[in-house]
C-alpha cells in the first residue's frame, strides 16, 4: 500500500455538478447505472484537458458513454483502483454501468446485505465500491437516485433527500426515485432496500417548518424505538437552542441494521445505524445502552451541520467534523444528564484509551500528516482528543465567543469542503483572537505532561505556581513546541473554601476560579493577597488533555476528595489517591511483601458512601477503582499479574471493611421495584446500587449471594439483571453462575443485542480459564465472525477487558486473537484492523510477553492477502 501525504493535496481536476444513479437490485448481483454531469475544474478555456481518473474498486465495468456516445474498451484504462479516460470537452456527461455483488460483500463497505436488507456504508471510501466516481470529499454533487427491486422482499426503497416519484414494474418489481437538493460528497450517499417497519413522528423547527421523522427497523424491533425518537427530537431542539442550527430537509430518516462496522453514519437525511445504537427497551437494554443511543443519535444528527452542510476538504481534516461533533454531542449529553458524571466518564475513557494510543506506535496528530488506509484513522485521537481540542477553544473563548465563532464558521462555509484551519480562522475572526500557537494541538501528537509546583510565601502573602510543560516523542516527531494549555484552577483555604484570585500585574481580581493560559515551556504565575497557604485545585473539569503532575501528598488528595467544591476535582482527587495507593501496593506485591491497605482510601470511600448530598452516580464513580487498562497506561512496564492481583485485593479489602456501610446504602437505595425510568436520577440510583452489589458479592457472604440471585431472577429491567449476572459470573458460585447464564441465554436467544452482552460478560471475566471459555463460545450458534457486534462482544472484550487471560504467560491469548485477525482480514479488514490494537501495545509489557506479542504480529504480517488496513497497523507497530 502507498502512503498518502497531506502536503500532496491538490484540487480535483474535474467536478461533478449532478449525479443520477439507478440501482437494479437482484439476489445475486446489482447493476449500478450512473449519469454524471461533469466539468473541468481549472479556470479558463484553452490548454489540454487532463485525463479523468475515477476511483473504483471491486467493480465489473459494463459500459461507458461520453455525451451519449458509447465508448469502446480502447478508449479507457481500468485497473484495481481506477478508470481513466480522456474527456474531449470542458463540460460533458459521463454514463457508466457497473455490476457488483452486494450479497458477497462481507467487508460491509459500499453496498452490502445485512440480513435480508440492502444497505450502504460509503464513508470514507466506500462509494468507489459501488461505481466509478471522484470519491473524495471535496467533490460535491446533487444526487438523484432511483432504486429498483422486487416488491415482496424489498417493499421499502430509500435514499437521501425527498421521494419524488415511485412506481411498479412488471414481474413484481417496483421503484422509487429520491432527490437530494443539497450538494454532497459521495461519502454521504446512502441507499436502503428492505422489509422494514416504520415508526413515525414529527418535529416543528424553530422557523415553524414541519419535519417528518421516521425510524425504520426490522418488524420485531418496533417496540424498541421510542428512546431513539425522543433523543432525536431533543437533539433537534438542542441544536437550535445552543447553536442556532435548524434542520433543512422535510424528512429525516434513521434505519437500523444488524451488521455495521461502526456505531452509525450521518448520510444526508438517511442516517444508517448499527442497531445497537438505536434499539433500547428497559427489558433488553441497560442504562449504559440507553445513554449510548441518546449520544449516537445526537452525534449523527449534529453532523447535519458539522459534517454535511460544512464538510471536510480531505480526510486529513477528519477531526474537523468528528472532533467538533463529539464535543457537541458531549455537551448535549451533559445538558440532558449530570454534567459532572458525563465529564468523569469521558475523561476516564480518554485517559485509559486515547492516552495509550498517543503513546503507542499508531500515535498521530489530530490532523494527521499521512496515512495508508483512511479507515485506520477513525481513531480516539481524531474523535476524543479532537473533541478535547474543541473544548479548549470553547474554554478559551467562553460560551458566547465560541458561539460567535461557530455562527461565522457555518455562515462562511455553508456548502463547502473546508479545513481545520478554516474552522480556527472563523473562531479567530469572530473574536479577534490569535490561535497560531494553539494550532499545535492539531499538528503535534502525544500527550503533554504539565508539571506544576506551588510555593507559598507567608511574608508577602503570595502563592507562586511554576508550570513546566513537555511532550514525549511520537513516531516521526521527536521535538515538540509548547502547547497552549488552558489551566482551570482555584485555591482552597484550610476549610476547603475557594479564595479570591489576584494575579500579580493585573488590576482586576479574577473571582475564585480562573483559567490560566500556559503557553511557555516554563512559566511562573504569582497570586497576590493570598491570606493563608492554599491547596490548589488544578485542571478543573480536565481543562486540557494533559498529564498533570503536582506534588500532592496523600493527605492533600484526601482533603480535596472530601472538600473540593468542584465535583469533577473531588472525583479526580479520590481517583488519584486510589492510583497512588494501587501503584504503591503493586510495588510491594512485586517485592513479595504483604499488602496493607492505606486506611485513608477506605475513609474517603466510607465518607462518600455516607454523604447523602452527593449525586449517587458520583458516589458510584468514586467507588469505582481506576481500571486495569488505566493502570497499564500509567506504568512504565506493566506487570499484568500484579496489577490484576492488587486491584482485586483492594476491592475485596474495601468490600470487607465497608460491608456494613455498603449494605445500609444498598438497602436505602431501594430494590429497583416500580416502573423503569430512564431519567438521570433513576439511572444514578441503579448505578450506585449495582456498584455496591458488585462489592458486596466480593465478601462472599451468603446474604450477598441470595440478594444477587434474587435480583437476577426478579429484576424488572436489563440494567439490574445484567449487573447481577456480571457479579455471579465473576463469583466462585459455580452452580448459580451456570444456572444464570443458561437461563439468560434461553430467555434472550432471539435478541442479538442481548446475546452480545451475554458473550461480552463471559469474555471479560478475569477468572482463570478465560481463553478456553471464549474458544468454547466461538462455537455457540449465536456467534459469527461475520457480524462486527459479535466480534467486538467476544474477541474485543477478551483482548481489551480481560487483562489476566489475554496476557497469559504462555502467549495462548495472543495466538488466539492473532488467529481471529487472520481470518477476519479475509472477511472484514476494517474489523480485523481494529482487533489488532491490544497486540500493538507490546512495548508496555515484560520482555517475554513482548516477544510473544511481536511473534504474533510477525505471523499476521506474513499471512496471505493482507489488506492495507491490517498491513498498515501491523507494520507500523513493529517498526
Indicate which residues carry an active-site annotation.
300
**Taking the complex as a whole, how short is the minimal distance between the CB of residue 671 and ligand HT7, in angstroms?**
39
534 Cβ contact list (under 8 Å, min separation 6): 454, 456, 463, 491, 492, 493, 499
DSSP 3-state of 249: coil
262 binds, among Zn ion, ligand HT7, none (CB under 5 to 8 A by kind): ligand HT7
Assigned C-alpha cell, 123: 464513508
| CB-CB contact of 617 with 341 (8 Å) | yes
197, 378, 456, 649: which one contacts ligand HT7 (CB under 6 A)?
378
52, 158, 232, 262: which one contacts ligand HT7 (CB under 6 A)?
262
Closer residue to Zn ion in complex, CB, 214/321: 321
- x/- contact string, 62-101, with ligand HT7 (CB under 6 A)? ----------------------------------------
**Taking the complex as a whole, how short is the minimal distance between the CB of residue 260 and ligand HT7, in angstroms?**
7
Closer residue to ligand HT7 in complex, CB, 56/829: 829
Interface of this chain with ligand HT7, residues 799 to 838, rule: CB under 6 A = 830
239 Cβ contact list (under 8 Å, min separation 6): 245, 246, 301, 302, 305, 328
Q: Is 586 in the site for ligand HT7 (CB under 6 A)?
A: no
**Taking the complex as a whole, how short is the minimal distance between the CB of residue 126 and ligand HT7, in angstroms?**
7
DSSP 3-state of 672: coil
| CB-CB contact of 118 with 191 (8 Å) | yes
DSSP 3-state of 23: strand
**Taking the complex as a whole, how short is the minimal distance between the CB of residue 188 and Zn ion, in angstroms?**
12
- x/- contact string, 112-131, with ligand HT7 (CB under 6 A)? ---------x-xx-------
Q: Is 633 in the site for ligand HT7 (CB under 6 A)?
A: no
Largest distance between two CA atoms of the chain? 95
24, 218, 266, 720: which one contacts ligand HT7 (CB under 6 A)?
266
Interface of this chain with ligand HT7, residues 132 to 191, rule: CB under 6 A = none
Give the Å distances, CA to CA, from 107 to 259, 264, 789, 826, 874.
10, 16, 14, 9, 19
375, 760, 789, 867: which one contacts ligand HT7 (CB under 6 A)?
375
| φ, ψ for residue 573, nearest 5 deg | -65, -45
Among 539, 645, 651, which Cα is nearest to 601's? 651
Closer residue to Zn ion in complex, CB, 322/564: 322
- β-sheet with 82-85: strand ranges across: 52-55, 82-85, 76-78
686 binds, among ligand HT7, Zn ion, none (CB under 5 to 8 A by kind): none
Number of residues that bind Zn ion (CB under 5 A): 2
544 binds, among ligand HT7, Zn ion, none (CB under 5 to 8 A by kind): none
| φ, ψ for residue 48, nearest 5 deg | -70, 145
Which of 3-14 are b and which e, b meaning 16 or more Cβ less than 10 Å from the residue's Cβ? ebebeeeeeeeb
265, 293, 465, 585: which one contacts ligand HT7 (CB under 6 A)?
265
Task: Note every long-range contact of 704-707, with CB atoms under 8 Å and residues 24 or more positions apart, other chains counting.
Answer: 705/731, 705/733, 705/736
**Taking the complex as a whole, how short is the minimal distance between the CB of residue 766 and ligand HT7, in angstroms?**
31
| CB-CB contact of 167 with 175 (8 Å) | yes
Element counts in the chain: helices (H) and strands (E): 30, 31
**Taking the complex as a whole, how short is the minimal distance between the CB of residue 47 and ligand HT7, in angstroms?**
37
| CB-CB contact of 463 with 454 (8 Å) | yes
**Taking the complex as a whole, how short is the minimal distance between the CB of residue 163 and ligand HT7, in angstroms?**
24
Closer residue to ligand HT7 in complex, CB, 303/721: 303
358 binds, among Zn ion, ligand HT7, none (CB under 5 to 8 A by kind): none
830 binds, among Zn ion, ligand HT7, none (CB under 5 to 8 A by kind): ligand HT7
Assigned C-alpha cell, 137: 470529499
Closer residue to ligand HT7 in complex, CB, 299/480: 299
- x/- contact string, 275-304, with ligand HT7 (CB under 6 A)? ------------------------xx--x-
Assigned C-alpha cell, 35: 449519469
| CB-CB contact of 121 with 265 (8 Å) | yes
| φ, ψ for residue 861, nearest 5 deg | -60, -30
Q: Is 261 in the site for ligand HT7 (CB under 6 A)?
A: yes
Closest residue to ligand HT7 using C-beta atoms: 262
- x/- contact string, 301-330, with Zn ion (CB under 5 A)? ---------------------x--x-----
DSSP 3-state of 4: strand
Binding region for ligand HT7 (CB under 6 A): 121, 123-124, 261-262, 264-266, 299-300, 303, 322, 375, 378, 830
What are the residues binding Zn ion (CB under 5 A)?
322, 325
Amino acid at each position: 500500500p502507498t502512503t498518502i501525504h497531506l502536503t500532496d493535496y491538490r484540487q480535483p481536476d474535474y467536478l461533478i455538478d449532478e449525479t443520477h444513479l439507478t440501482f437494479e437490485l437482484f439476489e445475486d448481483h446489482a447493476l449500478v447505472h450512473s449519469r454524471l454531469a461533469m466539468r473541468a475544474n481549472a479556470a479558463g478555456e484553452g490548454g489540454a484537458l487532463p485525463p479523468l481518473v475515477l476511483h473504483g474498486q471491486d467493480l465489473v465495468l459494463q459500459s461507458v458513454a461520453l455525451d451519449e456516445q458509447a465508448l469502446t474498451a480502447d478508449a479507457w484504462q481500468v485497473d484495481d483502483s481506477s478508470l481513466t479516460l480522456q474527456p474531449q470537452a470542458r463540460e460533458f456527461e459521463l454514463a457508466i454501468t457497473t455490476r457488483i455483488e452486494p450479497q458477497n460483500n462481507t467487508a460491509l463497505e459500499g453496498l452490502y446485505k445485512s440480513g435480508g436488507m440492502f444497505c450502504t456504508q460509503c464513508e470514507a471510501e466506500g462509494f468507489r465500491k459501488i461505481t466509478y466516481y471522484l470519491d473524495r470529499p471535496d467533490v460535491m454533487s446533487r444526487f438523484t437516485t432511483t432504486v429498483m427491486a422486487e416488491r415482496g422482499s424489498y417493499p421499502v426503497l430509500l435514499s437521501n433527500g425527498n421521494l419524488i416519484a415511485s412506481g411498479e414494474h412488471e414481474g413484481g418489481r417496483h421503484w422509487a426515485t429520491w432527490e437530494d437538493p443539497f450538494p454532497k460528497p459521495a461519502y454521504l450517499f446512502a441507499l436502503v432496500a428492505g422489509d422494514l417497519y416504520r415508526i413515525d413522528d414529527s418535529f416543528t423547527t424553530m422557523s415553524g417548518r414541519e419535519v417528518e421523522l421516521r425510524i425504520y427497523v426490522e418488524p420485531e424491533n418496533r417496540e424498541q424505538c421510542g428512546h431513539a425518537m425522543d433523543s432525536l427530537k431533543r437533539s433537534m431542539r438542542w441544536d437550535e437552542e445552543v447553536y442556532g442550527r435548524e434542520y433543512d430537509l422535510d424528512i429525516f430518516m434513521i434505519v437500523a441494521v444488524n451488521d455495521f462496522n461502526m456505531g452509525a453514519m450521518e448520510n444526508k437525511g438517511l442516517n444508517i445505524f448499527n442497531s445497537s445504537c438505536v434499539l433500547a427497551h428497559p427489558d433488553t437494554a441497560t442504562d449504559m445502552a440507553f445513554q449510548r443511543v441518546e449520544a449516537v443519535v445526537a452525534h449523527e444528527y449534529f453532523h447535519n451541520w458539522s459534517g454535511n452542510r460544512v464538510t471536510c476538504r480531505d480526510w486529513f481534516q477528519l477531526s474537523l467534523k468528528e472532533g467538533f461533533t463529539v464535543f457537541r454531542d458531549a455537551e448535549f449529553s451533559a445538558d440532558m444528564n449530570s454534567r459532572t458524571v458525563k465529564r468523569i466518564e469521558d475523561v476516564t475513557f480518554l485517559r485509559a484509551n486515547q492516552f495509550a494510543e498517543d503513546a503507542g506506535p499508531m500515535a498521530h496528530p489530530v490532523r494527521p500528516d499521512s496515512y495508508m488506509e483512511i479507515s485506520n484513522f477513525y481513531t480516539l485521537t481524531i474523535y476524543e482528543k479532537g473533541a478535547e481540542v474543541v473544548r479548549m477553544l470553547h474554554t478559551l473563548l467562553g460560551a458566547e465567543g465560541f458561539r460567535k465563532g461557530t455562527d461565522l464558521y457555518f455562515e462562511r462555509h455553508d456548502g463547502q469542503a473546508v479545513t481545520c484551519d478554516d474552522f480556527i480562522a472563523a473562531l479567530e475572526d469572530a473574536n479577534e483572537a490569535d490561535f497560531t500557537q494553539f494550532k499545535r494541538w492539531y499538528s503535534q501528537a502525544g500527550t503533554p505532561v504539565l508539571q506544576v509546583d506551588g510555593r507559598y510565601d507567608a511574608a508577602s502573602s503570595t502563592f507562586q505556581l511554576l508550570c513546566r510543560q513537555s511532550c514525549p516523542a511520537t513516531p516521526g516527531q521527536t521535538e515538540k513546541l509548547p502547547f497552549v494549555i488552558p489551566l482551570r484552577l482555584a485555591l482552597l483555604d484550610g476549610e476547603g473554601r475557594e479564595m479570591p484570585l489576584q494575579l500579580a500585574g493585573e488590576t482586576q481580581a479574577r473571582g475564585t476560579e480562573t483559567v490560566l493560559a500556559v503557553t511557555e515551556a516554563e512559566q511562573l504565575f504569582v497570586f497576590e493577597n493570598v491570606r493563608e497557604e492554599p491547596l490548589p485545585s488544578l485542571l478543573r473539569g480536565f481543562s486540557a488533555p494533559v498529564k498533570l503532575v503536582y506534588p500532592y501528598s496523600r493527605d492533600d488528595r484526601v482533603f480535596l476528595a472530601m472538600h473540593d467544591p468542584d465535583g469533577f476535582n473531588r472525583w479526580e482527587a479520590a481517583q488519584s489517591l486510589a492510583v497512588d495507593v494501587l501503584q504503591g501496593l503493586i510495588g510491594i506485591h512485586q517485592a513479595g511483601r504483604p499488602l496493607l491497605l492505606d486506611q485513608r482510601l477506605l475513609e474517603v470511600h466510607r465518607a462518600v458512601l455516607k454523604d447523602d448530598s452527593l449525586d449517587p452516580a458520583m458516589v458510584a464513580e468514586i467507588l469505582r477503582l481506576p481500571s486495569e487498562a488505566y493502570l497499564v497506561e500509567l506504568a512504565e512496564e506493566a506487570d499484568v499479574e500484579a496489577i490484576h492481583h492488587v486491584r482485586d485485593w483492594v476491592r475485596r479489602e474495601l468490600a470487607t471493611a465497608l460491608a456494613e456501610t455498603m449494605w445500609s446504602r444498598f438497602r436505602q437505595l431501594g430494590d429497583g421495584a416500580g416502573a423503569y425510568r430512564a431519567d438521570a436520577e433513576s439511572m444514578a440510583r441503579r448505578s450506585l446500587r449495582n456498584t455496591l452489589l458488585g462489592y458486596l458479592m466480593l465478601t462472599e457472604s451468603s446474604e450477598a449471594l441470595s440478594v444477587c440471585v434474587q435480583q437476577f431472577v426478579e429484576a424488572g429491567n436489563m440494567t439490574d439483571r445484567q449487573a447481577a449476572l456480571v457479579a455471579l459470573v465473576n463469583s466462585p458460585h459455580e452452580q448459580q453462575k451456570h444456572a444464570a447464564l443458561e437461563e439468560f441465554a434461553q430467555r434472550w436467544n432471539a435478541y442479538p443485542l442481548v446475546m452480545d452482552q451475554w458473550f461480552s460478560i463471559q469474555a471479560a471475566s478475569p477468572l482463570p480459564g478465560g481463553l478456553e471459555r471464549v474458544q468454547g463460545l466461538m462455537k455457540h450458534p449465536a456467534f459469527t465472525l461475520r457480524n462486527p457486534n459479535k466480534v467486538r462482544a467476544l474477541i474485543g472484550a477478551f483482548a481489551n477487558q480481560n487483562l489476566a487471560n489475554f496476557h497469559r504467560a504462555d502467549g495462548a491469548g495472543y495466538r488466539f486473537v492473532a488467529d481471529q485477525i487472520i481470518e477476519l482480514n479475509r472477511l472484514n479488514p476494517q474489523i480485523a484492523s481494529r482487533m489488532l490494537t491490544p497486540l500493538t501495545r507490546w512495548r508496555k509489557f515484560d520482555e517475554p510477553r513482548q516477544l510473544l506479542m511481536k511473534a504474533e504480529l510477525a505471523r499476521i504480517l506474513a499471512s496471505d492477502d493482507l489488506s492495507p488496513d491490517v498491513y498498515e497497523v501491523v507494520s507500523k507497530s513493529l517498526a
